[in-house]
C-alpha cells in the first residue's frame, strides 16, 4: 500500500473559509484571522487550519494564538488534521507565540490533537454569546449563533 504525501501550503483566509463552508460539521467561516495553512494530497485540497487571536480576553496576552477552525475533507487521508495542527504551532512559534489553544466539543475525541502533541487542559461550559456589549444586546433577534451551545475541551501546546 502506498501512502500519499501531505503537502502543506500557505492559504488565504478566503480559501480556508471556503473549505470551512464546505466541510466543517458545526462551524461557519471566520470573519478575521492571523493566518491559515492548507494541506494538499496529490494536488487536491484535503484540509485547512485557521489561526486567530484568542477570543477569551484573559488569553489575549500577545503571546497566545487560537486555532479557531480545523477541518478536513470527509474523505481526507489519515494524519491531515494532525499535520495541520503541527504546522499551525510551528508557524505561531516562529512569530514569537508561546502558547496555542483550541477547543473541541466534549463529545469529540481530539485524537488529532494528541497525535500533534497537544494536551487537554480543561473544560469550558457552553454558554450563549449574548452577554456584555455584543451585537445581540443591541440587535435582539438578528444575531444568529454560528454553532451549538455545548461544553468544550480546551487543548494547548506550548507553555508547560
Task: Please write the tens of the pLDDT for every residue from 36-88.
Answer: 999 999 999 999 999 999 988 999 999 999 999 999 998 888 899 999 999 99
Pairing between β-strand 44-52 and β-strand 6-11 as defined by DSSP bridges: unpaired
Question: 78: which residues sit within 8 A by CB, 6+ positions away?
Answer: none
Q: What is the pLDDT of residue 68?
A: 94
Residue 50, domain member (yes or no): yes
pLDDT at 134 over 60: no
Res 80: pLDDT: 96
CATH number of the domain that residue 64 is part of: 3.40.630.30
> From CA 39, how far away is CA 9, in angstroms rounded?
6
Mean of pLDDT values over 7-23: 95
Is residue 10 in a domain?
yes
- 31 lies in a domain? yes
At residue 148, does pLDDT exceed 60?
yes
| Residue 1 placed within a domain | no
Taking the alpha carbons of 34, 67, 44, 22 in that order, is the dihedral positive or negative? negative
> What total of structural domains would you count in the chain?
1
Confidence grade of residue 143 (pLDDT, cut at 50, 70, 90): very low
CA 94 to CA 127: how far, in whole Å? Answer: 34
For range 133-157, the mean pLDDT: 68
117 in any annotated domain: yes
Residue 103 host element (H or E): strand 99-105
Extract long-range pairs of 16-20: CB within 8 Å, 24+ residues apart.
Answer: 16/48, 16/49, 16/50, 16/69, 17/50, 19/45, 19/47, 19/48, 19/71, 19/73, 20/48, 20/50, 20/69, 20/71
pLDDT at residue 98 tops 70: yes
Using an 8 Å Cβ cutoff, are 28 and 20 in contact? yes
pLDDT for 3: 57
- Say how far apart CA 78 and CA 68 lie, in whole Å: 21
pLDDT confidence of residue 78: 86
> What is the mean predicted confidence (pLDDT) over 95-113?
94
What range does the domain containing 72 cover?
A: 6-158
Residue 4: pLDDT over 50: yes
> What confidence score (pLDDT) does residue 59 get?
93
85 within some domain: yes
Q: What does DSSP assign to residue 25?
A: S
Amino acid at each position: 500500500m502506498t501512502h500519499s504525501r501531505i503537502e502543506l501550503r500557505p492559504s488565504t483566509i478566503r480559501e480556508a473559509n471556503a473549505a470551512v463552508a464546505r466541510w466543517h460539521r458545526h462551524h461557519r467561516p471566520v470573519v478575521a484571522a492571523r493566518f491559515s495553512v492548507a494541506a494538499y494530497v496529490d494536488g487536491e485540497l484535503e484540509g485547512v487550519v485557521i489561526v486567530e487571536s484568542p477570543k477569551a480576553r484573559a488569553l489575549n496576552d500577545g503571546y497566545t494564538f487560537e486555532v479557531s477552525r480545523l477541518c478536513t475533507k470527509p474523505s481526507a487521508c489519515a494524519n491531515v488534521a494532525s499535520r495541520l495542527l503541527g504546522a499551525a504551532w510551528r508557524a505561531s512559534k516562529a512569530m514569537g507565540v508561546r502558547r496555542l489553544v483550541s477547543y473541541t466539543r466534549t463529545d469529540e475525541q481530539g485524537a488529532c490533537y494528541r497525535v500533534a502533541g497537544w494536551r487537554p487542559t480543561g473544560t469550558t461550559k457552553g454558554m450563549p454569546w449574548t452577554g456584555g456589549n455584543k451585537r445581540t444586546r443591541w440587535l435582539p433577534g438578528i444575531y444568529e449563533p454560528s454553532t451549538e451551545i455545548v461544553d468544550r475541551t480546551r487543548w494547548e501546546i506550548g507553555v508547560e
